[in-house]
Amino acid sequence: MKLKDLFEKGKFVVTSEIGPPKGTNIEPMLEEVDLLKDKADAINVTENQSSVMRLGSMAVCRLLKERGFEPVFQITCRDRNRLALQSDLISASVLGIENVLCLTGDHVVLGDHPQTKPVFDLDSIHLLKVARGLVNGYDMVGNKLDGVPDLCLGAVVNPGADPLEPQIIKMEAKVEVGAEFFQTQAVYEVKKFEEFIKAAEHIKVPIMVGIVLLKSAGMARFMNANVAGVFVPDKFIKIMTEASKEDRPKRSVEIAASLIKEMKGMCQGVHIMSLGWDRYVPRVLEAAELI
């Protein structure tokens, strides 16, 4: 089912995320995702996340579809020109994939193949426009399609960006060209998220707050130093610093659940990014009283 249908029914939508393996051994990934059966409404499948080469998002989305999951196909402008982008969007629809998250993509210098030639033929706004055109029956240059893809189009936003206004302007542009829902960058500051929601209240598109599971105090400090628009408050760093290695997952679950409880009333869903801790996502949902 398309995410927009769930939003229209008034459901607080829960999505999680998995990263495909770097190779063909899919069993561990499938074992992890099976833990989310009947718990998450949809599963995002990352696409060469952080510019690290992995098994493709579309293939994994199809595998999830066959196992009864609703996948969200992440597609980036980094790796494809406009021909490939359009072809893959149509291909995804033919494979039964209905939800698509349109991303610009991390630059290749951040990944494991820094010598790669980046494409970036389009950016995320233009990709959304092209995808909407395909849904309406035409390719990017106006040629009529013989059968059209049926897709629900999503986009991303960073509520913690400073200044915030450019993010709001980009949201408006993305909605204008076809975005039907937003998933946010990781949020740890409830007050800042509330300010973002107020600034975006005129944008009548569902927003899902992004939650990244903290694995350690070191991870928190790294994000504070290197991830634009993300700030982990000292109180959470203190909790993770004082936790033993064995106790960190429990504390991480508690932090994530508390954030979801505080922000649930401000938005229409939550997107949980586990970064390999998929097995703890059900605990987060239980603690947050979402299942």
DSSP 237-270: HHHHHHS-TTTHHHHHHHHHHHHHHHHGGGSSEE
Residue type, 147: G
Q: What is the pLDDT of residues 70-126, one digit of tens each?
A: 999 999 999 999 999 999 999 999 999 999 999 999 999 989 999 999 999 999 999
pTM here?
0.95
Q: How confident is the model at residue 81, as a pLDDT? A: 98
Q: What is the pLDDT of residues 133-183, one digit of tens each?
A: 999 999 999 999 999 999 999 999 999 999 999 999 999 999 999 999 999
The strand pairing partners of 14, in sequence order, are 270
**Is the confidence at residue 276, as pLDDT, over 90?**
no
CATH fold for domain 3-287: TIM Barrel (3.20.20)
The strand pairing partners of 118, in sequence order, are none
Is the Cβ–Cβ distance between 78 and 52 less than 8 Å? Answer: no
Q: Which of 105, 101, 92, 58 is nearest to 210 (CA)?
A: 101
Q: What is the pLDDT of residues 187-240, one digit of tens each?
A: 999 999 999 999 999 999 999 999 999 999 999 999 999 999 999 999 999 999
CA distance 170 to 129: 13
Residue 24 CA from chain centroid, whole number: 23
**Is the confidence at residue 21, as pLDDT, over 90?**
yes
Is the Cβ–Cβ distance between 180 and 4 less than 8 Å? Answer: yes
Three-class secondary structure of residue 29 per DSSP: helix
Q: How confident is the model at residue 285, as a pLDDT? A: 97
Q: Which of 260, 268, 272 is nearest to 182 (CA)?
A: 268
Residue type, 216: S
Residue 206 CA from chain centroid, whole number: 14
Q: CA-CA distances (angstroms) from residue 126 to 25, 158, 183, 245, 260?
A: 35, 18, 18, 44, 32
